Chains A and B, each alone.
Chain A
Amino acid sequence: MDILELAFMQRALLAALLVGVTAPAIGVYLVQRRQALMGDGIGHVALTGVGLGFLLNTSPVWVATIVCVVGAVIMELIRSYGKARGDIALALLFYGGMAGGVMLMSLAPGGSNANLTTYLFGSITTVSQQDIVAICVLAAFVIVTTVGLRRQLFAICQDEEFARVTGLPVRVLNLLIAITAALTVTVAMRVVGLLLVSALMVIPVAASQQLARSFATTFAMAVAIGVLVTLSGTVTSYYVDVPSGATIVLMAIGVFLALTALATPLARKRADRAAAEERCTLDEPTPGPTTDDVRV
């Protein structure tokens, strides 16, 4: 395959692979505690980081990383202190981040809306050598955290009050989730873009939930789906010349719809089996080997 001999495609595929692993890996915890849109919020804030990077003429990825982490930590603090108007505070943060990014970008020498677009919607084939180093380092951190601390993170996302009473360092772990989500956003920024980052955190998880019954399976399947759509989306965008981010996200939605269609009869069959076990029965001998008349 000649596609693998092109240096920019090698970088693109590596970046796609890492995004496919990391975004669902942290996304599963965010979905578990019903914070599915946190990635979207961080994505908005990241834009200020990108603008700042252009203005200071430094790597937008690293500046965006720092800004994302700060934004995510603020979001986590707002969440954990449960201030009455937390949603308003988050809205200020999101739109402030977005507007700040646009403003800084326009002030930057040589900054233009075209540059902005590559960060908003991803531009995987322009991933530089420098970007790929940053993506690898950040992705390693995300994977080590989400896999190494899976039991602890599962517990605090499942029932935070209970987790605090077990004596886990819940506050530290919550901050770690926020920071990990922020790093994932910057990992995924070049591949799917800031506006579509959250899709890769949420949709593979939602898709794998259709079939999975355990958290471990949901996690593993979400990562598998993530890798599948990021790699195939990247290859498709090379051959067909369509934007990578949009291709990947639409593919993920396709997988979600396919699994949902597959899961519906499966769930019905499961429910029927349970119903057959628990159905009221008269004390009569049942004729024949099967009385399963509710099969669909």
Chain B
Amino acid sequence: MNTPATAVDRQFATETLEGAVIRFCGDSGDGMQLTGGEFTTTSAVFGNDVSTFPDFPAEIRAPAGTLPGVSGFQVNFASTDIFTPGDKVDVLVAMNPAGLKTNVADLKGGGILIVNEDAFNNNNLKKAGYTSNPLEDGSLDEYKLYKIPISRLCDESLAETGMGSKAIGRAKNMYTLGIVYWLFDRSLEPTIQHLTNLFAKRKNQPEMAEMNIKALKAGYYMGETAEMFQNRYVVPKAKLAPGQYRQISGNEATALGLIAGARLAKTDLTYAGYPITPASDILHFLSAYKNYHVKTLQMEDEIAAICATIGAAYTGDIAVTASSGPGIALKGEGIGLAVMTELPVVIVNVQRGGPSTGLPTKTEQADLLQAVYGRNGECPVIVIAAKGPGDCFDAAVEAVRLAVKYMTPVMLLTDGYIANGAEPWLLPHVADLEPIAVKYATEFNAHADDHDGEGNNVYWPYLRNENLARPWAIPGTANLEHRIGGLEKAENTGNVSYDPANHQRMINLRQQKVEKSAQDIPPTEIFGADSGDVLIIGWGGTYGAIHAATERLLAREHKVGTIHLRHINPLPPDLGAIIKRFKTIVVPELNKGQLIRLIREHYLVDAKGINKVQGKPFLVAELVAEVESLLPRK
């Protein structure tokens, strides 16, 4: 396609925006995730702060054109710090009527609405439940509606490629992306590079790369030449902390953090998993990094996965499994074995909507009590949570560190929202990461009474150090042969014991050990007021929304402070004192109130919950409104 000469002559009014929220939506086969991901990368590489929210159906390909088959990808990009993908969208791109119908309510009044006009035929309108064509009946008058025959224009621009009509039809997402790139004055280069890598290099389909790049450019030129848009928009670079950045999703950051943890411990990583949404990507990422001494086992089920990690931990590896709620439920007995055998196992729960199969592709925070309490017997584990995609890296390193130091299972909670969402990640330097000390036992550590002579002459697997951790002697170490298992252990010797007093002591010791790990929790950071009217206590993936809401509340001069907990079991030692400095404690969670129970139980405080269980993250506006309703009237 040649660029018409007129293109360079045309003038457009350019409006500078602080930020914008775009949502791409269409059929799950329309490639909306790729489209949104590309826009995000391009914006991030340009220098915007970005935050994303991919939202896709659980079905791989729900019937085309139907409401359940709609897949969406929302990206917020700005010249300022942002913490969420945005409550409402400024630009909605709808590839079909079903996409329009399920998403238009989130478009701001006066917002830009770009639709693929060709998809609005009778059949698709009917499937989406429209009785009249919304493009014609005036129902979209409050928006800036751009009806573009995307399918036809894309077909025409690719007709000369000689590719089949099916392949050409699937390139219309790139055509659409080209239009949006033009509208926001973005460079095509990052996407061209990615398409070349994806199709030409990795899949060895150079013709597919060429066709998609052609579609992308055609869409861009369409924006320029068609006299359709009056304005272009510019979102300048953000002033982020200096350093090197890349885009990262929570699952990828978790995988990198686990590798980092194992490398810092100078130990191999054994990861055993079973495919489950939304945790599978951790397995995918790790399986590609074998040259980091990573062994990945796709086991036959969730139970096998936790049990294989126990075997690997006994044998001296950093052992990890990841799953989501239903899988964690299956692992419960195995986690109990890891508690009893006091082995360093990391369990990642990428939470999703429950109960049962629930909402596999949607986010929720309803597994917190499962993490803390959800096993038979008195069965404490350390529980920590990641607050955002990049933070998953630090949280995973922390999980490995705590597991090894205290010889205990550690549960790391992330969720579907931060696992799939991406944000710019300020890249850490390995030299700045604290090494993790792993010292396997190699010598006798006790003196048995029935032996003659001086000095140690036996190995007791349950003799504890100052942190109450037991020693880690691994198979292959001469003379330290020992047996462990799920039956109650005698203190110190680790032999099977049914002694009542011993059982009480061991129950207490396991609990004290987990509590002892609180000594490693750094002083709690408070954002906003140090004391005052409201203390908001959050945890996990709601960080962005809570932080943004707090900023707004502070801007309105409310005396509000926010804490976002990394450590949930045990809780930070200074939390009780902080709570006392505020009149009202508010705990927003994407569940029916779980952290709030722990807060009430530990601090006997009448905390108020803000609870939402819709499979969706908090909107900033709803948090602000809820908190304001709890504030004293001015």
Q: Do A and B come from one complex?
A: no
Binding site for B on A (CB under 8 A): none
